[in-house]
Amino acid sequence: MAEVITMPRLSDTMTDGKVAKWHKKVGDAVKEGDILAEIETDKAVQDFESEYNGTLLFIGTEEGGSSPVDSVLAIIGNAGEDISALKGGNSQSASAGTSATEAAGIPEENKTEQNVTDVETTKTVEKEEGTASAEIPAGVEVITMPRLSDTMTEGKVAKWHKKLGDAVKEGDILAEIETDKAVQDFESEFNGNLLYVGTEEGGASPVDTVLAIIGPEGTDVSGIISGGGKKSENKTPVAEAKAETSKTETASTPVAASTGERVAISPLAKKMAEDKGIDVHALKGTGENGRIVKKDVESFTPSAQTAQVAETKSIAEVKAAQPVMNFVQGEDSETPNSQVRNIIAKRLSESKFTAPHYYLIVEINMDKAIEARKEINSLPDTKISFNDMVIKATAMALRKHPQVNSTWHADKIVHHGNINVGVAVAIPDGLVVPVLKNADQMNYNQISAAVKDMAGRAKSKGLKANEMEGSTFSVSNLGMFGIETFTSIINQPNSAILSVGAIIEKPVVKDGQIVVGNTMKLSLACDHRVVDGATGAQFLQTLRTYLEQPLTLLL
């Protein structure tokens, strides 16, 4: 039976999608996991894979055309199968994608050729209508400053890996780009020579301005340079798709820590892995050329090996994250503010001065938590920390108190359907907050492995922008430094942040007797616009119960 493939909603704000490229044509055999097309959304270009086996019987939107979300994009079924009844639901989208060719009376078999001609014609017209500075010689590719996060307005070149005149191959690292959240490798998608560098090392430039130009050796690119470094407004659909693809892959394609090579993974599988908190480097692909597909994520069984290896290095890594400064008597020194430091200052100031903070502090008896941790760590391939236990208990408490898992907007309060816990990590430039997606659905081993992995990559500037977005609540832990209690500034758009102190052995009163006990203080900073005092107190009561009686997490 034929399967109708509709235009997917690939982002929350997407209303229609444009087909940047078809990887299959009508009549081609299609297998589950095959890339059908590249869909251009309002944010990026993403691969769209098939979930079915069969033959591509119908294409609802031609290459270069667009159609609304949920309209018929394609139909897959058995060769020769009658699908006339299924096509009817796509009249609007089909006409949107093919009206130009139909109006011209072009036969079906010539549409693809005509589309190519139209694109080439568009290129010619745009070059003729654009200014001289916007003209692009044959074989030359203009690389613009990518938007590597939703809030990024400019990028700083932390380091160039290529210099003028160097040969560049597809996949080579061109530069390290410092955004408002992290430093990320930026790789080339083209072959050629580096003809122009628009931003010197240590300099910054706005998103979409010319970062570099790649092309055949000796090509004159002065016309492009004289345009002032601004991206042409008349860029073609093809160039637009390439630019968006470059941004998407750089921002969200995971990079293997050991080899520097990208992990081949489908967008659907990647989204599922993020939602489940699975490190894509731990997955083994069964798709074409070892590509990770949906079923690989569904069948994945996590291992605690990563957590075991990293456990002994946690405190050393935190200390290593602090910047090293030499003190010279009587001599002042300066450290230029990094992009990350500037953004930290801006965001924390906005949070402190716009959100009415108040603080709740509670002392937890950790005796049973200590016993529970010893028993858990006695299991094979298991090594968890108290921080992992706090994160798990916090995520479960947020389930019962959704008001704390909310965000303030001018006209409404958004209660999030997912519990995504941000974990504050110290880096040389300040602080980043990698996010555990759906932390309430993760077990201790998964939380431990994910935290160790992301904390390690944060310190080596290996985190991706999408790994630091989407938090609904945050946790900050200074207990390893012996800090008994402290208060944190809310990490907006969250409405609360939990500060975790050290476990202290001290005299406590138990059953009317003074005995030695182990206690830990938790401080909850709340945005009073969203979380009232009673609501915050009830959340802490639940969290306290989970930590003092660990077995209640199983109820």
| Alpha helices by DSSP H, 361-443 | 367-377, 386-400
φ, ψ dihedrals at 97, nearest 5° = -85, -20
Q: Which of 70, 150, 381, 532 is catalytic?
A: 532
CA distances from 458 to 170, 305, 336, 452, 501 (A): 26, 19, 21, 10, 22
SS (H, E, C) 230-294: ECCCCCCHHHHHHHHHHHHHHHHCCECCCCCCECCECHHHHHHHHHHCCCHHHCCCCCHHHCECH
Instruction: Give the C-alpha separation, 267 to 284, whole Å.
Output: 15
Catalytic-labelled residue, pool 23, 161, 357, 528: 528
- Whole-number Å distance between alpha carbons of 232 and 134: 6
Annotated catalytic residue 357: no
528 is catalytic: yes
Tokens of 306: 């990563």
| CB 186, CB 178: distance < 8 Å | no
Taking each helix axis from N to C end, the angle separating 444-459 and 386-400, rounded to the nearest 10 degrees, works out to 110
3-state secondary structure of 174: strand
Contacts of 48 (CB under 8 A, 6+ apart): 8, 10, 35, 36, 37, 38, 39, 267
- DSSP per-residue string spanning 315-382: HHHHHHTSPP----TT-----PPPHHHHHHHHHHHHHHHHS-EEEEEEEEE-HHHHHHHHHHHTSTT-
Q: Is the dihedral of CA 416, 420, 422, 423 positive or negative?
A: positive
φ/ψ of residue 74, rounded to 5: -160, 165
Element containing residue 477 per DSSP (H, E): strand 473-477
Q: Which residues are catalytic?
A: 528, 532
